[in-house]
Amino acid sequence: MNLNKIAIVLVNPEESRNVGAVCRAMANNALSDLRIVGLRENFDDEHVRRLAIHAADIWENAKFFNSITEATKDCALSAGTTRRRGKKRKDKLLLPEEFAKLASDVSGTEKSKGQTVAAVFGNERTGLSDEELSECTIGVTIPSSPGFASLNLSHAVQIIAYHFFRTQTKISPGYVPVNLERLDKTVNTISESLKKTGFFKVAGREDMENFWRGILSRASLSEGEASYIEKTFTKIAGLAQKNESAQDQ
């Protein structure tokens, strides 16, 4: 696990003090890459620093974005934290230790190259919406009492960050996985190729793209593997169109 390749993403947090507490939780576990979907000017600097204590440098270096997709485009994996399951949410939710193991494979070590992994946390009151969770490639859940399942934002970050910290000595896979911006090109190639074969008769393209994005991000593809998949689907589409033309003659 390369902790320098772990990003904590907060989506429109409402309480400045929670952001400060998140900074402290990150510092407890040797994490420093804080990304926030929102505007810096919406937060009370004094309140953030009061809770961050000696981790104010994490707040000072925090990066701000307009969306989860923008905040995670350089990542190979983005995990949305949620306690809710549903038809439009992720089919399988990983436990924190399972996510940490996967993140360890992707992030590499300080001596070997790896890709950035993002842990995404929703708004304190509402969590991640279906739309926000769909911008992530996988889902993670922290088990808690059914009678009071909602966790404080900084507590949730602390739990996930601790599992990262505990797995930092794991050996990397030996290559650099592609990031999500690059992976989206592969997903688009698959989708366009399937379209050419007549796979999408009415609807379903978006669901199919989300499926491939999720499963391929978990596979931590190398550049060579991504290219091979693109070539395979492009050839399938070409052969399908060739056979269709031959039948029309």
- The string of DSSP letters for 20-76 reads HHHHHHHHHTT--EEEEES-GGGS-HHHHHHHHGGGHHHHHT-EEESSHHHHHTTEE
Q: Which residue's entry shows tokens 């509402």?
A: 126
DSSP for residue 201? S
Question: Do 76 and 179 touch, CB atoms closer than 8 A?
Answer: yes
pLDDT, residue 172, reads 55
Q: What's the residue count for the chain?
A: 249
Residue-wise pLDDT for 72-106, tens only, equals 999 999 999 988 654 445 567 899 999 999 999 89
Cα 62 to Cα 8: distance, rounded to the nearest angstrom: 10
pTM here is: 0.73
Model confidence pLDDT, tens digit, residues 168-214: 755 555 677 888 889 999 999 999 898 888 887 656 788 888 889 88
